[in-house]
Chain A
Amino acid sequence: MEPVNPSSMQAIDCDIHPAVPSTRALLPYLDEYWREHILRRGLEADNLELSAFPVNADLNSRPDWRPARGIPGSDFDLLRSQVLEPFQSRFAICNVLHGAQAMFSEDLSAALCRAINRWVAAEWLDRDPRLRASIVVPPHSADLAAEEIDRCASDPRFVQVLMLELTELPLGRRQNWPIYAAAERHGLPVGIHAGSSFRHPPSGLGWPSFYLEDYVSFAPGFGAVLNSLVTEGVFVKFPKLKVVLIESGVTWLPAYLWRIDKTWRGVRAETPWVDRLPSEIIREHVRLTIQPFDEPPEQSQVQTLIEQIGSDEMLLFSTDYPHWHFDGIEAMPNGLPPDLIKKILIDNPLATYPRLS
Chain B
Amino acid sequence: MSRHVVAAVGEIAPGTCKLVTVKGREIGVFNVNNEFFALINRCPHQGAPLCRGEILSRLVSKSPGQYELTHRGEMLRCPWHCWEFDIRTGQSWCEPDSVQARTYAVEIEPGSELAKGPFAAETVPVAIEQDYVVITV
Contact = CB atoms under 8 A, between A and B. Distances in A.
Interface of A: 174, 232-234, 236-237, 264-269, 271-273, 275, 277
Question: Which 3 residue pairs across A and B have the least CB separation, nearest first?
Answer: A233-B64, A266-B82, A272-B61
Given A266-B83, A269-B84, A275 B59 contact: no
Q: Looking at A264, A267, A272, which has the most chain B CB atoms within 10 Å of its CB?
A: A272
B98 to A, nearest CB: 12
B62 A266 contact: no
Contact of A233 (B63, B81, B83, B94): B63
A264 B94 CA distance: 9
B66 interface: yes
Contacts of B81: 265-266
A153 to B, nearest CB: 25
A268 B60 CA distance: 10
Interface in B49-91: 59-68, 81-84
Interface in B19-68: 59-68
A254 B82 CA distance: 23
Contact of B83 (A174, A236, A265): A265
B63 A236 contact: yes
A265 B98 CA distance: 14
B4 to A, nearest CB: 33
Given A234-B64, A268-B93, A272-B60, 17 more contacts: A174-B65, A233-B64, A236-B63, A236-B64, A265-B82, A265-B94, A266-B82, A267-B82, A269-B59, A271-B64, A272-B59, A272-B61, A272-B68, A273-B61, A273-B64, A273-B66, A275-B60
Nearest to B62: A273
A195 B93 CA distance: 38
Interface residues of B, number: 17
A273 B63 CA distance: 6
Contacts of B64: 174, 232-234, 236-237, 271, 273
Contacts of A275: 60-61
- SS class, residues of chain B in contact with chain A: loop
A273 B67 CA distance: 8
Contacts of B68: 272
B61 A268 contact: no
A171 B23 CA distance: 55
A268 to B, nearest CB: 7
Contacts of B62: 273
A268 B58 CA distance: 11
B103 to A, nearest CB: 21
16 contacts: A174-B64, A174-B65, A232-B64, A234-B64, A237-B64, A264-B94, A265-B82, A265-B83, A265-B94, A266-B81, A267-B82, A269-B59, A272-B60, A272-B61, A272-B67, A273-B63
B46 to A, nearest CB: 12
Contacts of A268: 93-94
A17 B61 CA distance: 41
A147 B6 CA distance: 68
A272 B60 CA distance: 5
B63 A237 contact: yes
B63 to A, nearest CB: 6
A300 B81 CA distance: 35
Contacts of A264: 94
A236 B66 CA distance: 12
B73 to A, nearest CB: 15
Contacts of A266: 81-83
A237 B59 CA distance: 18
Nearest to B68: A272
A236 B84 CA distance: 22
A201 to B, nearest CB: 28
Nearest to B80: A266
B86 to A, nearest CB: 14
B124 to A, nearest CB: 36
A277 B84 CA distance: 14
A232 to B, nearest CB: 6
A232 B81 CA distance: 23
Q: Looking at A264, A269, A271, which has the most chain B CB atoms within 10 Å of its CB?
A: A269
